[in-house]
Structure 1
Amino acid sequence: MIDYFSIALTHGLILFACWRLLFRDDLDSESGVSGKAPRPWLRQQDDNADA
């Protein structure tokens, strides 16, 4: 027997995720990402490269 609650729950969560993705503000931008994104986890490597 099919568990309709689990099917409805999983499909509902997928629809909710799609809904949230479709209405993001950054999806309306045509310019893309300008410049390099800051990567603080690489700060240590950048400091060692300068030395």
Structure 2
Amino acid sequence: MIDKFTLFLPHILMAIAIWRLLHRDDLDDDPSLPSRKTPFRQPREPGGEKPDA
């Protein structure tokens, strides 16, 4: 039981950390690059629908 716990706990914690990092809004922003005129992702309207292109 202890062996399984010590094996699974670090992997679960790493999976949670990766999950949280992938869902950050600033993940696609690179401060060393000049700013773009159009954002990488289009912001969504408060209604949850995609804006018309």
Computing the radius of gyration from Cα coordinates, the structure with the larger value is 1
- TM-score (normalizing by structure 2): 0.48
- TM-score (normalizing by structure 1): 0.50
